Amino acid sequence: MFAGGRRASDAAEMVGAASGHRAGHIGGRQRGPGRRRRCGRTGRQRTPLLLAIQTGDQHKVELLLLHGVARNARGRCGKPAVFYAIEMQNVAMLSWLVEQGFSLLDSDKHGKSALARACESGCFEAVRALLDAGHDPDQHQDHLNALYRCREVTTARALLDAGADPNILQFEIRRALVGLPAEPCFRQLNVTSEAFWHGAQRRFGVSNPERMDDPFWMAMVRSGISAWLARTQFSDKPSSIEHPVWCAERFGQSISFLPDGRIIQVAGEHEDGYDPDFCIYNDVFVHYPDGRIEIYGYPDAVFPPTDFHTATLVGDTIYLIGSLGYRHHRVPGVTQVFALDTRTLRITRLETSGDSPGSIYRHRAVRTPTGRIRVFGGRIEHGDDVQSDNDAMFELDLARWVWIRLRDE
């Protein structure tokens, strides 16, 4: 019993009535005799608390909380209370709920976080409020990650600035971030058949670096279409082309944002090993603020085809750590480390020592306040396709090029 002899359920019924949802009614239809609302919920599994949040009525929310209504109420699909403010793009209500101690760690029954739901809703202000409240931008490392669900450039940049893993970015939002149309566009593939056949096959650079001014390659970067679609555009028998067709649609391609406005993308792979267009690349794309794009190639002896690496900017250097790569390039127990000079675009292999992660890929790498690069997560290749999760944390001392194993996670 509460003050005045009123029970929590009575308070909930009172607030529900004030919101236009009277007992025995759902969506304007009266229930039949003997049928009762179960658990004090509306037909959409909203408790009076969730309904008050959804309608943006802070006074009713305060009244319900005063009478002891559980703040951990969940609606359809297990949606926590803060989701209702997010979905209505009511940032004032969301911020107030955070101030009242509503949890930001709760997910719905599918595992989706509040930040991921805010990204899906397209409400930048809600994303900003959650980040300011301390929401982890990397709460998940899969399709439930907030950055993975992101579709807006401003939201993606806010998440990246907060420390989100850029490797989570989907291909379409990567295109938008570098200033290209998010969706691939056939109209951008405006080259001749001769240009296609000249540039269809991957070529390595002969110098470090070599500017690759290939019209087909440039058109593929701007269009974003798959290698197979390019095949069908220029060949009556697309499956008869015996080599992978050069493509800019990549997985495992790193992206780095430079202070001067340039954006640098490195290497990556197209398709999986069973596909005729499977290819792991070793090139570099440079996107300029004015829309210019440059492609650079490298000898494979200088920089082997690389994918699922990390790119950490320190001063004028991007440190490229790890790779899955082709089988014949993998060296179990050795961590691949390269330095990309952002001034000259020259790539140099770095010889390191110490207790390294080994042949690591799909990991995270962040710069520490002490000037080291911390590596964690991901997978380790042990040879003969034997792999394991990386459960340890490592740091690379950039002054001595020495790896230090910190601890198991």
Query: Could you give the residue range(s) of every CATH 1.25.40.20 domain in the chain?
Result: 3-177
Radius of gyration of the chain (CA): 27
Look at residue 384 in the predicted model and tell me its pLDDT: 87
The CA-based angle 140-141-147, given to 5 degrees, is: 80
Look at residue 1 in the predicted model and tell me its pLDDT: 40
The pair of structure tokens assigned to 114 is 């509040």
pTM of the model as a whole: 0.85
Q: Residues with Cβ < 8 Å from 384, sequence gap 6 or more? A: none
Q: Residues with Cβ < 8 Å from 84, sequence gap 6 or more? A: 46, 50, 53, 54, 75
- Are 217 and 210 in contact by the 8 Å Cβ rule? The answer is no
Look at residue 408 in the predicted model and tell me its pLDDT: 63
Kind of pairing between the strands at 293-297 and 210-211: antiparallel
The residue assigned the tokens 């109420």 is 73
Q: How many residues are listed for the chain in this entry?
A: 409
- Are 281 and 250 in contact by the 8 Å Cβ rule? The answer is yes
Residue 393: strand pairing partners: 376, 407
Which architecture, in CATH terms, is 3-177?
A: Alpha Horseshoe (1.25)
Instruction: Provide the 10 A C-beta neighbour count for residue 73.
Output: 22
Q: Could you please report the per-residue DSSP string of 292-337? A: -EEEEE--TTTS----S-EEEEETTEEEEE-----GGG--TT---E
From first to last of its 409 residues, the chain has per-residue pLDDT tens of 434 444 445 544 544 544 444 433 333 344 444 444 444 444 456 799 999 999 999 999 999 999 999 888 999 999 999 999 999 999 999 999 999 999 988 899 999 999 999 999 999 999 999 999 999 998 876 788 899 999 899 999 999 999 999 999 999 999 999 999 999 998 999 999 999 999 999 999 999 999 999 999 999 999 999 999 999 999 999 999 999 999 999 999 999 999 999 999 999 999 998 999 999 999 999 999 999 999 999 999 999 999 999 999 999 999 999 999 999 999 999 999 999 999 999 999 999 999 999 999 999 999 999 999 999 999 999 998 899 999 999 999 999 999 999 976 5
- Are 164 and 158 in contact by the 8 Å Cβ rule? The answer is no
- Are 379 and 307 in contact by the 8 Å Cβ rule? The answer is no
* Cα dihedral sign, 54-59-62-64: negative
Q: Residues with Cβ < 8 Å from 184, sequence gap 6 or more? A: 175, 223, 224, 225, 226, 249
The pair of structure tokens assigned to 28 is 């304007």
Q: Judging by beta carbons within 10 Å of its beta carbon (0-12, 13-18, 19+), is residue 179 exposed, middle or buried?
A: middle
Look at residue 409 in the predicted model and tell me its pLDDT: 53
